[in-house]
Amino acid sequence: LERASVASEVAESPPSAPAPEEMPDWLRDLGLAAPPTEPVSPDATAASSATLGPLPATAAVPADVPEQPEVPEWLSRLVRATAEEATPEAGAPAAAAFEPTPSRPPADTAAEVVGPPAAQPPAAPAADTFEMIGTADLAPDEVPDWLRELEMIQAVPVDSVPPAWETPSASTTSGDIEDEVPPWMDDLQPLRSLAAGSADAGAPPSAEETGTESPVVAPSSEEYVAPEWLAELQSLVESPPEAAPSAPAISTGPLPPGETTPDWLRDLGAGPAGSGIVGVSGPVAEPGQLPDWLTQLKPAEVDTIPGVERIPPAEAASTEPLSTEEDAIESLRARLGMPRLPDVEGAALIRDIVSEPAATATEPPPRRSLVNTMIWVLIVIAILLGIAILSLAVLSRAQELLGGPAFQRFLDSPVGAGLVAGLEAYRAPLATLPDDAVVLMGIDYSPATEAEMRPLAEMTLRDLLGQRARVVTVSLRPEGAALAHQLLLSQADRYPFGERTLNLGYLPGELSGLRSLVALGDLPLYGTLPTACARLAECPAWEDVRTLDDVALVVEVADAAAPVRWWLEQLSTTSAAARPMVAAVSAAAAPEVRPYYNPAAPGPARLQGVISGVTGAAAYELSLRQPGRAVRSLAAQSAAHLGLVVTALVGTFVGLRARAVGD
């Protein structure tokens, strides 16, 4: 396209006729410049055309071009030899071929230049010329690249050499051409060769192309076709690289019989074949409007990217209905010319997620009716009752094997000495209480853990009341107040509530609530008392209790370790730090409470006794000879123990076997 544009511009401009005085000195010294008035014979013109080809319009070197003394000697010999070898008729034209001849009208030239195709290549003169050049006299290093190229061209048949008119500019060196030609145009070399062989008649070079209005007679078809190497040589000799470029013009003339205007020429804006004017003044194709044949020849750059797959045009142009969104995306990508990128990390996952069909809203399961719900509840109740009834026989038998008697034997054995020692340590501070001693008892468990904690609290309360102590309960949990009240009321038949037992209820604030125990006598009471007293110190038989110092023992009953720690930490920084403290805790909290247990060295923040769980309560009941809920549940507790042990062993065996199999 650039070539066509330049050609049109140059063709429209009148060719310049360089004066003889514009000939460079070095060329004049070589004797190439001939008097312009000397007649030129057609044979000489033919010889010059066959040897050096048509001269470009810019062959005339401007006057201001500096002298070029660095013309090599071999080039001078070449020119000289060419001039001498030419026939007497051709000798002068051969020299004149380097000289512009502006006397020839362009119309005649245009009509005559369009010659036959290069079916009869005038290769012989060129070959002779190369032989005369001879590189044997030159050292290998002195041989320029372009000369090597010329030698290679010589070895190639002329048919395969693209015609000179295809060069972008006659004044442009081959090196410049190579620099300007994009890489993708390199792939067009076969096409150019093909075009030179088949369609050379469509656009042969002419004097008009070169801008030279030669007065010579129209050359014959044999004289017309000149190899490119010769044109390049001529341009190298006569025009420096900075010379103004000349564009080849597309000749206008009748096409030979059987020849038609090629499609690419028609796409460039030329008229139909035989219209006479082709491309000289016709519309010039825009740079962005590449003809189809050129577009198809352009190599796809994305194809050279490894891993990038180009969608074939057939697939891109498919008009089949799109089945999925992915097909639509692929089609759109093909139409836009976007390459199909290779799958990268995560892309496949995202594509899968996107391509997944939209999840339809799941219908909520049908709601069960109230009747069905009640039926299910009744079924569950029936099943549980059946299990309970069937297990009665087993439980009665298990009671004998694992119940109270068995546990008593366990306590009497050396294995149970530790449990007995712990119980004795727990009971030691209680047993040493003086009469009417005030015991502060914390009830910090919830109804959820009452089954485990109630036996512990009940046995402790019985023991305390049996020691003639006065018990005041308090709770750090709201529900603990009611549980403590129930606990005290359970002993109300022997120890009426309000006489030896009182309930302070709920102490808000946890840690800060414990600090309020310093003013113990001022705290309000929980529950309805037979006597009208709102505070502890106002109740009869309790007037001596004013502060925490009046407390002889602290007993904490808790289902967690945190309340026990709160009691220990806060009491250790008060005046009641030296007061002994014991704790009855859940089995789950026992490991966390044990570090505070130190019966050998009582002191602040130390527990002098700890009992835990159902086993501790059962031992307490058996120690007081008052079997109760704890002893009754020992059989089930022991059975659960056995079940857990068996489960743990089986699980361990299965796990080890699975590991062995895996290894």
Partner 1 sequence: LSIETIVAAVLTFMVWSYLLGDNPAFRVAEHLLVGTAAGYAAVVAWFNVLQPAAERALVSQLSPLAVLPLILCGLLAMRVRRPTWLNGSAVAVAFLVGVGSGLTVGGALFGTLWSQVTAAAALSLDPADYGDLQPALSSPAFWQSLAILIGTIGAFFYFAFNTRPGGRLGGPGGAFIRFWSGVGLWIITMALGALFANAAMARFSLLIGRVQWLLDALGTAWPPLVTGR
Residue numbers of the site for partner 1 (CB under 8 A)? 368, 373, 376-377, 380-381, 384, 388-389, 392-393, 396, 418, 448-452, 454, 478-479, 481-482, 505-506, 508, 511-512, 515, 524, 526, 534, 559, 565-566, 568-573, 586-592, 595-596, 598, 600-601, 603-606, 612-614, 629, 632-633, 636-637, 640-641, 644
Q: How far is the CB of 302 from partner 1 (least distance, A)?
A: 54
Nearer CB in complex with partner 1: 192/629? 629
- Neighbour-count burial of 17, counting CB atoms closer than 10 A to its CB (0-12 exposed, 13-18 middle, 19+ buried): middle
Paired tokens of 241: 């690289």
State phi, psi for 612 to the nearest 5 degrees: -150, 150
- Type and span of the H or E element at 584: strand 581-585
Nearer CB in complex with partner 1: 49/399? 399
Paired tokens of 505: 């209820």
Q: How far is the CB of 381 from partner 1 (least distance, A)?
A: 5
Q: How far is the CB of 658 from partner 1 (least distance, A)?
A: 21
Nearer CB in complex with partner 1: 136/601? 601
Nearer CB in complex with partner 1: 130/410? 410
Residue 156 CB neighbours (<10 A): 12
Q: How far is the CB of 572 from partner 1 (least distance, A)?
A: 4
Nearer CB in complex with partner 1: 250/423? 423
- Classify residue 295 by its DSSP letter: H
Q: How far is the CB of 327 from partner 1 (least distance, A)?
A: 44
Angstrom distances, CA of residue 544 to CA of 136, 429, 437, 502, 540: 137, 21, 11, 14, 9
Nearer CB in complex with partner 1: 138/636? 636
- Classify residue 482 by its DSSP letter: H
Q: How far is the CB of 392 from partner 1 (least distance, A)?
A: 6
- Neighbour-count burial of 133, counting CB atoms closer than 10 A to its CB (0-12 exposed, 13-18 middle, 19+ buried): buried
Nearer CB in complex with partner 1: 181/534? 534
Query: How far is Cα 456 from Cα 450, in angstroms, rounded to an integer?
Result: 10
Q: How far is the CB of 487 from partner 1 (least distance, A)?
A: 15
- Amino acid, res. 174: S
Nearer CB in complex with partner 1: 81/587? 587
- Residue 23: CA count within 13 A, CB half-sphere: 22
Nearer CB in complex with partner 1: 287/418? 418
Q: How far is the CB of 369 from partner 1 (least distance, A)?
A: 10
Contact status, residue 209 vs residue 171, Cβ threshold 8 Å: no
Query: How far is Cα 199 from Cα 126, in angstroms, rounded to an integer?
Result: 22
Nearer CB in complex with partner 1: 290/587? 587
Contact status, residue 422 vs residue 616, Cβ threshold 8 Å: yes
Q: How far is the CB of 410 from partner 1 (least distance, A)?
A: 16
Contact status, residue 586 vs residue 452, Cβ threshold 8 Å: yes
Nearer CB in complex with partner 1: 542/596? 596
Nearer CB in complex with partner 1: 117/613? 613
Nearer CB in complex with partner 1: 300/511? 511
With b for 16 or more beta-carbon neighbours within 10 A and e for fewer, the 571-609 pattern comes to beebebbebbbbbbbbeebbeebeebbebeebeebbbbb
Q: How far is the CB of 511 from partner 1 (least distance, A)?
A: 4
Pairing mode, strands 581-585 and 470-475: unpaired
Q: How far is the CB of 467 from partner 1 (least distance, A)?
A: 27
Query: How far is Cα 489 from Cα 495, in angstroms, rounded to an integer?
Result: 9
Nearer CB in complex with partner 1: 193/547? 547
Q: How far is the CB of 424 from partner 1 (least distance, A)?
A: 14
Q: How far is the CB of 481 from partner 1 (least distance, A)?
A: 6
Q: How far is the CB of 469 from partner 1 (least distance, A)?
A: 25
Q: At what angle do helices 450-466 and 478-489 cross, to 10 degrees?
A: 50
Residue 490 CB neighbours (<10 A): 15
Q: Could you tell me which of 582, 591, 616 has the C-alpha nearest to residue 420?
A: 616
CB contact set of 484 (below 8 Å; sequence gap of 6+): 441, 443, 473, 474, 475, 503, 505, 526
CB contact set of 474 (below 8 Å; sequence gap of 6+): 440, 441, 442, 443, 484, 503, 504, 505, 507, 517, 523
> What size, in residues, is the chain?
663
Phi-psi region of 373 (alpha: psi -120 to 50; beta: other; left: phi over 0): alpha
Q: Which residues make beta-bridge pairs with 439? A: 471, 553
- Amino acid, res. 569: E
With b for 16 or more beta-carbon neighbours within 10 A and e for fewer, the 368-390 pattern comes to eeeeeeeeeeeeeeeeeeeeeee
